[in-house]
Structure 1
Amino acid sequence: MELIRGIRNIKARHYGCALSIGNFDGVHQGHQQVIKRLVEQARQRALPAVVMIFEPQPLEVFAKDKAPARISRFRDKYQQLKSLGVDRLLVVRFSHEFAQQSADYFVRQLLVELLGIKYLAVGDDFHFGKGREGNFASLQAAKKQYGFELTATDSFCLNQQRVSSTILRQHLADADFSSVAQLLGRKFSFNGKVIHGQKLGRQLGFATANLKVARHVCPLHGVFAVKAYVQHQPEHRFSGIANIGWRPTAAGKDLLVEAHLFEFDANLYGQRLVVEPQLKIRDEQKFDSLDALKAQVNLDIKRAKAYYGLAE
């Protein structure tokens, strides 16, 4: 899948496509249905299937730290879209300046003149342009003017429940990982390169593999029983616990996943690790001393091992 970073990198060869626009956060089963339909329609018309997303996501610009937590990182989103057969991913930089463009300019300049869209699929609640003046009705008018096909993407329901990123975030907040897996069509996970940390876990007797959470807001916080494996080696899975958060006892400044894996002592620095939360053990909290933290971690490990049926 070709990655186009920014409008300035749209070339003449990119003209003519079937396009869908959205955040596609999590690439859940609803998103998957939209993308499969896009790819199918693109193939029927002998066109490349293109997905347009915005970075940062619009609410992250307007609401900043109050924006909804991201379900997936950009890298994960890229991989999921690629696996669904998308030919090109266009990443448009979103800013206050970009948001000031008129709806007509967005359609005429970007969609028609630069991308040459022949087929467009968006939600019927899609808004765009300055003050969100553009909507599906605007696109229906533009469709007649510029001659492209337009379709609304229907909401996808699973067990009579609408699948959405908002509902996914709620299930994550509730640590309902079974429902999350159903809506995603796969297990929720953190995937990242193992980095050096403060080595506090090693000092306490619990060596950890640390992943930096490159998200504005994380959908999970607390201590969890987890399964983890080195990417591309999913057959070798290890049980463990992980703290997901800011490490208040250590005055942490970065949002991290700190995973302590049972019966594992290899060097993971620089490798990509996949961490799948299975059960929430407790909320993250600040302790008065490192001894108090160590005592609690021992209790967390005991509970996680009991969950996995492992001997003490």
Structure 2
Amino acid sequence: MKVIKDLKFFLKERRPVVLAVGFFDGLHRGHRKVINKTVAEAKRLGGIAWVLTFDQHPMKILRPVSAPLLLTSNLHKVRLLENMDVDGCLLMPFTRQLAGLEPEAFVKLLSATIPTLSSIFVGENWRFGRRERGDSGMLIRLARRFYIKVTVVKSVLKAGRIVSSTRIREKVASGNLSKAGQMLGRPFSILGNVIRGRAVGRMLGFPTANMETYNEVLPPTGVYAVRVLVGREMINGVANIGVSPTFPGAKKRKTIIEVHLLDVKGNYYGRELEVFFVRKLRDEKRFKSVKALKEQIEKDVRKARAMLR
């Protein structure tokens, strides 16, 4: 799957282009419905299916203090799209200039830079253009001028309510990962690269991979039984989300994810891990001694092993 950032890539394309357009945070069931229909239409036309999304949430530019933590980083979103049979992802830079485009100008931009644009698929709540003036009805009318077909895909419902990234973020933040997974259509996970930490886990006899995250919403602090995808191998593990309160300086540390992989050894620095949270084992707490912490970790590992069999 190709990943590009410039619309001019399409200027020499001769095949029909079918676009799924949206921010698609989390690639939840509603997003997948839009993208699957995009892929099906591209195959019907003998064309190519592309996803047009943005490199940052629009609120990061328009109202930074109100910008939400995300379900998926750009890297994670791309990895998920790689399994959806799309030909490529246009990761469009979201700038103040783009935010200031009137809806008419945005559609004209797409038409001018993607000459063979045949169809656009969007969710029914998608909005675009300056001050979000454009809705699906306006998109249909504007695209018609350029002989572009627009398909508005109905939202997916769960328990009578629309599946949305906002609802899923709320479930993750409150620790209801089961409900989050139901709306995502997959277990909730976080993808990141392994970075060097303080080597505290190694000192305790339980070496951990410290994950670099990218502004994602995290489950509540605590210890979790997890499954970790490393390359193509799924490995059981135990993860801690928190600040390691037993050790000095906890108040100054930012919340991180530390993952202990069960029954494997190796250097994972720089490797890409996807951590699937299975179940919470306990809250994070400050122990009176390092010895007491180590004894509790041993119990956590035994409990995780039994749970992940």
Give the TM-score range, shorter chain. Answer: 0.7 to 0.9
Contact 1:124 1:153 in 2 (8 A): yes
Contact 2:107 2:143 in 1 (8 A): no
Contact 1:49 1:87 in 2 (8 A): yes
CA distance in 2, matches of 1:229, 1:178: 17
| Alignment correspondent of 1:295 | 292
Return closer, same or farther for 1:295/1:238 CA change in 2, 3 Å cut-off. same
Deviation at residue 210 of structure 1 after TM alignment: 1.0
Return closer, same or farther for 1:127/1:298 CA change in 2, 3 Å cut-off. same
| Alignment correspondent of 1:238 | 236
CA distance in 2, matches of 1:179, 1:74: 23
CA distance in 1, matches of 2:252, 2:141: 52
CA distance in 2, matches of 1:70, 1:19: 23
Contact 1:230 1:271 in 2 (8 A): no
| Alignment correspondent of 1:81 | 81
CA distance in 2, matches of 1:302, 1:176: 24
CA distance in 2, matches of 1:38, 1:130: 26
Return closer, same or farther for 1:8/1:140 CA change in 2, 3 Å cut-off. closer
Partner of 2:233: helix, strand, or coil?
coil
CA distance in 2, matches of 1:129, 1:15: 27
CA distance in 2, matches of 1:179, 1:301: 29
Identity within the alignment, %: 28
Q: Deviations along 1:224-272, whole A, 9 cap, x unmatched?
A: 322334523435x2232x2224556446656531112344443333333
Q: How does 1:108-187 map to 2 (within 5 A)?
A: 108=108, 110-116=109-115, 117-158=117-158, 160-187=160-187
Letter of the 1:295 counterpart: A
CA distance in 2, matches of 1:305, 1:2: 43
Partner of 1:75: helix, strand, or coil?
helix
What is the TM-score when the length of structure 1 is the normalising length? 0.84
What is the TM-score when the length of structure 2 is the normalising length? 0.85
Gaps of 5+ in 1: none
State which drifts further: 112-121 or 6-15.
6-15
Q: How many residues align?
A: 303
| Alignment correspondent of 1:228 | 227
Letter of the 2:231 counterpart: H
Contact 1:227 1:276 in 2 (8 A): yes
Q: How does 1:81-100 map to 2 (within 5 A)?
A: 81-100=81-100
Return closer, same or farther for 1:33/1:151 CA change in 2, 3 Å cut-off. same
Deviation at residue 298 of structure 1 after TM alignment: 4.0
CA distance in 2, matches of 1:49, 1:125: 21
Deviation at residue 38 of structure 1 after TM alignment: 0.9
Contact 1:15 1:114 in 2 (8 A): no
| Alignment correspondent of 1:64 | 64
CA distance in 2, matches of 1:223, 1:254: 14
Letter of the 2:71 counterpart: I
Contact 1:4 1:89 in 2 (8 A): yes
CA distance in 2, matches of 1:25, 1:80: 11
CA distance in 1, matches of 2:279, 2:297: 11
Q: Deviations along 1:145-179, whole A, 9 cap, x unmatched?
A: 22211111101124544322122222212323333
Contact 2:30 2:156 in 1 (8 A): yes
Return closer, same or farther for 1:247/1:94 CA change in 2, 3 Å cut-off. farther
CA distance in 2, matches of 1:96, 1:292: 52
State which drifts further: 60-69 or 38-47.
60-69
CA distance in 2, matches of 1:170, 1:293: 34
